[in-house]
């Protein structure tokens, strides 16, 4: 036997459903504001390692040295769409080091050997300069020291590498040690819009 509903009951159900959906959406928005945007981040235009025009400066390693975690929550990230895939990457090789018998610099920039260099595509075995190379950062090794970021900056490189906070490891301290130590006020936690 089917139950019949009055027009008033149907309209009432619909109104309650709409109100619940709206409340859910509002709650979601508030959650996003509270948890997604209110987080520590690095302003690349302020960070001395990535800021354009800051040429000839010493690397700032405070992101790696000041974090309360044993391995900083900051990582270097290579944005592949901007990377030149160079034969001699200044963020990978210490380009002023002596050249070895293979024609490449003998020293690397990363003190933890966190950047992996791999020829891609069809490999020319006779002319290594004739290949493109991917430079992939191993985040289990990277400590966010920023040396590769500095060396990748224009005009030496294309600026494809930047520092980012890894929010799955960041403790989101209210008084972040990196932010307090950052000399450029580049490590900040913007208020929700």
Where on the chain is the footprint of another protein (CB under 8 A)? Answer: 52-53, 55-56, 84, 86-90, 95-99, 103-105, 122, 124, 129-132, 154-158
Shortest reach from residue 97's CB to another protein, in Å: 7
Shortest reach from residue 147's CB to another protein, in Å: 16
CB nearer another protein, residue 27 or residue 130? 130
Distance CA 49, CA 145 (A): 10
Beta bridge partners of 120: 132
Nearest CA to 40 out of 144, 142, 113 is that of: 144
Shortest reach from residue 161's CB to another protein, in Å: 12
Burial call 110-120: b when 16+ CB within 10 Å, e when fewer = beeebbeeebe
Shortest reach from residue 40's CB to another protein, in Å: 30
CB nearer another protein, residue 89 or residue 170? 89
Backbone angles phi, psi at 147, to 5 degrees: -65, -45
CB nearer another protein, residue 23 or residue 57? 57
Residue 35 tokens read as 């948890």
Shortest reach from residue 96's CB to another protein, in Å: 5
Distance CA 45, CA 163 (A): 11
CB nearer another protein, residue 107 or residue 113? 107
CB nearer another protein, residue 133 or residue 187? 133
Cis peptide before 40 (omega within 30 of 0): no
């Amino acid at each position: 036997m089917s139950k019949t509903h009055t027009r008033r009951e149907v309209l009432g159900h619909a109104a309650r459903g709409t109100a619940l959906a709206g409340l859910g959406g509002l709650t979601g928005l508030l959650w996003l504001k509270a948890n997604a945007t209110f987080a520590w981040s690095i302003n690349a235009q302020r960070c001395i390692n990535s800021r354009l025009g800051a040429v000839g400066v010493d690397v700032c390693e405070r992101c790696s040295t000041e974090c309360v975690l044993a391995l900083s929550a900051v990582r270097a990230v290579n944005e592949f769409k901007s990377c030149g895939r160079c034969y001699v990457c200044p963020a990978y090789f210490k380009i002023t080091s002596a050249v070895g018998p293979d024609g490449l610099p003998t020293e690397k920039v990363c003190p933890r050997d966190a950047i992996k260099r791999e020829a891609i595509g069809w490999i020319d075995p006779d002319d290594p300069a004739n290949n493109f190379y991917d430079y992939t950062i191993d985040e289990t090794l990277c400590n966010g020291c920023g040396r590769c970021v500095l060396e990748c900056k224009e005009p030496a490189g294309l600026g494809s590498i930047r520092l980012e906070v890894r929010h799955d490891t960041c403790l989101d301290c209210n008084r972040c040690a990196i932010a307090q130590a950052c000399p450029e006020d580049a490590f900040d936690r913007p208020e929700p819009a």
